[in-house]
Structure 1
Amino acid sequence: MATTPNPELRSQRAHRAILDATFDLAVRKGYAKLTVEAIAAAAGVGKQTIYRWWPSKAAVALDALNEKMGPDTEFPDTGDITADLKTQISGLARLLTGDVGPIYRGVIAEAQTDPRIAAAVREIIIEPRIGRCQDRLSLGVAAGQIRADLPTRTMVEMLYGPVYYRFLLGAPEAEVRRSADLVDPILAGLRPASS
């Protein structure tokens, strides 16, 4: 008896193939040369399959990036806020100076003229990670390691603003990778005042 193919499984395979092809092509050829046509050909799907799930190449690339950013953007909790932030920022800097960086820059560049991509970058990449960082900083506040009179969102901006400043303005990779060195002076201003 013949079995019919499972369309959900086929869709999952196509989805995976598209994300993999997008990342691979963007790394090998550069984000600027990435096209939906090339993604479709490399993934073995029709363009209409891609457009069914994503409105543009930037949207596909954003989903592929989000997957690749995974564990390097998680926030450890060893009980030492300084060590945890240095670990997390070092992981992020490694990611941004690796294969992810040029693709992320390309997506962010498109976000400057496409409000849908700008909103998606914030929704998919930025806001969830800000939330996780705020959670970790709140634990530092509760432990008395960080002052309580400043919103944790402001702290996130203070800590990560320099990383993105260096990354997006084309600082040398070594400088981006040294971004974790800024944690100590930033936290010096965030420590509770001594009694």
Structure 2
Amino acid sequence: YGTNKRTQGQYVDGHEREDVVWYRQKVFIPHIQSLYDRMKMFDKDGKEVREAEPDYTLPNFTFNPAPRIVIWYHDESIFYAHDRRRRAWYHKDGPIKPYRKGEGLSLMIVDFVSAEFGWLGGPASGQSTHCIFCPGKNRDGYFTHEDVIQQAKDAMDILPEFGPDMEHIFIFDNATTHKKRADEALSARHM
């Protein structure tokens, strides 16, 4: 017996490309770290370890301290009907047990999440930006840039409920659903 994972092919995500690493290390991370003084900080268990501290040295500082910063990450998760563990104990001479082909039907859950508040929801109204989507040609279609924009607009409507003493920052990853070409732009897919 030996533990192994059934391979399905090569996957490359591009996170270690030289230009991506450079941007992450030289631009993104330093910028986020520059905001830390105005953010609540939490340990790995979600316990608050430091209250946000206003930066009194800011050039535009007045008697009102700079607003606390809350970062909201756009989270898209897809779950598949035939999702299963592929790593298991197999006897080297044991029979191969067939399993369903493909990943099966999928369900996409999309929302904004922050370390401080969890999933984005209105504290007073109970409104939410939570979206359950069944992607596919004969289902709900596909989550597009229009859906991302509408979800961001819905989020902006909820943010005033958190009060005027916070500055909210939304962070989106570089998924293809977040990209938009001009309507008249050339596309090999539509030629």
- Fold similarity call, TM over 0.5: no
Structure ranking higher in strand proportion: 2
What's the TM-score once normalised by structure 2's chain length? 0.27
Structure ranking higher in helix proportion: 1
What's the TM-score once normalised by structure 1's chain length? 0.26
